[in-house]
A and B are shown apart, each in its own frame.
Chain A
Amino acid sequence: MTLKTYNKIRLGVVIVTAFIFSQSLVLRNFFIPIMVLGLSSLTLFYLRKKVVQVIADERDYQIGGKSALLAIQLTSWIGVVIMFILYALSNTNPFYQPIAMTLAFSVCILMLTYSAIFKYYSKHSSKDEKRD
């Protein structure tokens, strides 16, 4: 299978999954979306194995690393700013406080996960042959 065919199929799978996912949630069915998500992930994983061309190389991984770091930094800053604004406005609306707390914990979890994964790769990167 060529990369072009794989990308076309992937786009189709994503569109179908998104449609089924949203419709199932509207109908308040939570079993179907999980099944569809698992099935589509397995399908894409199987198709990825069938592609003979290189899907991603070292340059993509390098760009991915930089992009991920920037995305995490941006998300964290935006989250923290919104959290402070919501905290400041919590006197006007008490519902702002739990939202601010959720944001604060989400940012903390994101940064902790990033640190843990970074530490893992910094110790084991030489063994990670697949990313070469």
Chain B
Amino acid sequence: MKNEIKKFRTKLGITQEELAEKAGVRRETIVFLEQGKYNPSLKLALNIAKELKTPIDELFSLS
């Protein structure tokens, strides 16, 4: 699964730490997500999409 978390996060000007705090996960999880090494649960994906003010289908896609 591919994601555009880094792109949308930098566009909003928030750090990994801030996104992690808002999404309710540890910073390491955001790092792994951005590197494409971890596939999030649906709940986390929805939370991240909400925090990044982006539709989930724009944020995540099947590679």
Q: Which residues of chain A have a CB within 8 Å of any CB of chain B?
A: 53-54, 56-60, 132
Instruction: Establish whether residues A132 and B25, one from each chain, have CB atoms under 8 Å apart when the complex forms.
Output: no
Query: Is B43's CB under 8 angstroms from A132's CB?
Result: yes
The reply to whether A57 and B24 form a contact with Cβ atoms under 8 Å apart is: yes
A-B pairs with lowest CB-CB distance, top 10 = A57-B25, A59-B29, A57-B26, A54-B26, A58-B41, A57-B29, A132-B43, A59-B38, A54-B25, A54-B24
Interface of A, secondary structure class, is: loop
- Give the size of the chain B interface in residues (CB under 8 angstroms): 13
**Does A56 lie within 8 Å of B43, measured CB to CB?**
no
Is the pair B41, A132 in contact by a Cβ cutoff of 8 Å?
yes
A54 pairs with B32, CB closer than 8 A: no
Judge whether B26 and A56 touch: CB under 8 Å.
yes
How many whole Å from A2's CB to the nearest CB in chain B? Answer: 12
Using CB atoms, name the residue of chain A closest to B32. Answer: A59
Does any Cβ of A come within 8 Å of B44's Cβ? Answer: yes
**How close is A119's CB to chain B, nearest CB, in angstroms?**
22
Chain A residues with CB under 8 A of B26: 53-54, 56-57, 59-60
B26 CB to nearest A CB, Å: 5
Residues of A within 8 A of B44 (CB): 57-58
B58 within 8 A of A: no
State how many angstroms separate the Cβ of A92 from the closest Cβ of chain B: 51
Q: When chains A and B are docked, how far (Å) is the Cα of A53 from the Cα of B41?
A: 20
Report 16 cross-chain contacts, Cβ distance below 8 Å, ordered by A residue.
A54-B20, A54-B21, A54-B24, A54-B25, A54-B26, A56-B26, A57-B29, A57-B44, A58-B25, A58-B41, A58-B43, A58-B44, A59-B26, A60-B26, A132-B41, A132-B43
Mark out the residues of chain B between 12 and 63 whose CB falls within 8 Å of any chain A CB in the assembled complex: 20-21, 24-26, 28-29, 32, 38, 40-41, 43-44
Chain A residue at minimal CB-CB distance from B37: A59
